[in-house]
Copies of this chain bind each other. A is one copy, B any other.
Amino acid sequence: MTDTYRPDWVPEDAKKDDTYACHVMKGVKEMHDGLLSSSAHLAPSVRPVQRRKKLTVADYVRGIEQGDRVILSRAITLVESNNKDHFKLAQQVLQAVLPRTGKALRIGITGVPGAGKSTFIEAFGNMLIEAGYKVAVLAVDPTSQVTKGSILGDKTRMETLTKHPEAYIRPSPAGGTLGGVARKSRETMLLCEAAGYDIILVETVGVGQSEVTVRSMVDFFMLIVLTGAGDELQGIKKGVMELADAIVVNKADGDNLKRALIARSDYDRMLHYIRPATEKWKTQAYTCSAVTKDGLDELWDVIQEFAEQGKENGVFLKRRQEQSLRWVRDMIDEHLHNLFFNNVVIQGRMGEVEAAVLDGEMSESQAVEELIGVFDKSLK
């Protein structure tokens, strides 16, 4: 097996050759064709590609419910496809598995590049699996144009986790709007839940609004930080600390331990000034080490306490319900926005109108009136 080409953790339907990237973009059918046509170029050690049977909704549902990773991956690829037929099929599958969703604990993880998110996920994920859980790791990276998601980039740091049968790792859906990526990631999460994963870790690279998006799809959100408060903190984006249910000072080991403890108390002091992200929950800072595993157990206790407490006082369910309704409204807004701004006539007119606004020749309201008029006419 040529591990370079086919790491175990790359979804089954996407690990045949290095053109995987654009296949994911194109969707299932094209991928399938692409695989057929490109298989001739593959190294001999790659097993020959068989023409894949088209699955029915029932096939997908059965496969997912049995925890079949190949079928789960194919269902996720459907969810990620921009093809209308795939979308419809995906929605039918989703509808059928819906009763099996929602039971996992959803945990979001963010942090500046270099904070050690991947090593943390590797260590934390392995600990969870040892404790008997099935763990799915997803990523939300709207900047990922193809498959250069952080998880893929960091695969070497998740070496043991990726090989584990109880772990399922899926890179970020490729590119597109944040709203599109968010929809795909949420539905991927639901599919993983239906496939029996108990804990979903959703990583975000922290670009643009992606933390807010991930916060809006998880129960518990943690910020991984480096040791040494102060200047390093400048790298943390505005408002991100306010989203966190826990701040985790990573790399609290060896020579770094003392600094990590100082950072922890610095963060605790800062948190005093910030309103917690979750009602009735006190956000605090913790230390841990992906190397020595110190602090990982404690962190898991904190998360479990968070979930138990929230389920008792109603905050947990309330947030999930608010998230659901918010998703619906956000998706509608996104749909309307795209309908307007992707309209060819609007695109043709926009530059001119914006220039008139910037030159002070047109007020903003007039620009809006003008563009809405153009849009209405284009629909007739």
Name A residues whose Cβ lies closer than 8 Å to a Cβ of B. Answer: 91, 94-95, 98-99, 101-102, 183, 186-187, 190, 229-230, 233-234, 237-239, 242, 270, 272-275, 321, 324-325, 327-329, 331-333, 335-337, 339-341, 353-354, 357-358, 360-369, 371-372
- From B239, B332, B339, B366, give the contact of A91 (CB < 8 A): B366
Give the CA-CA distance A327 to B364 in the complex, in Å: 7
Q: Name the B residues within 8 Å of A339 (CB-CB).
A: 336
Contact check, B371 vs A328: say whether CB atoms are below 8 A apart.
Answer: yes
The interface residues of chain B lying within 8 Å CB-to-CB of A234 are 273, 275
A333 CB contacts on chain B under 8 angstroms: 333, 336-337
Contact between A238 and B242, CB atoms less than 8 A apart: yes
Query: Which 3 A-B pairs have CB atoms at the shortest separation, nearest pair first?
Result: A336-B336, A238-B242, A327-B364
Contact A328:B340 (CB < 8 A) given known A95-B363, A335-B372: no
Q: Which residue of B is nearest A336, CB measured?
A: B336
Quote the shortest CB–CB distance from A217 to chain B (angstroms).
10
Can you list 18 A-B contacts (CB < 8 A)? A91-B363, A91-B365, A94-B363, A94-B365, A95-B362, A99-B360, A183-B365, A239-B239, A328-B367, A331-B365, A331-B368, A332-B340, A332-B371, A333-B333, A333-B337, A335-B368, A335-B372, A336-B337
- Establish whether residues A357 and B270, one from each chain, have CB atoms under 8 Å apart when the complex forms: no
Closest to A190 in B: B363
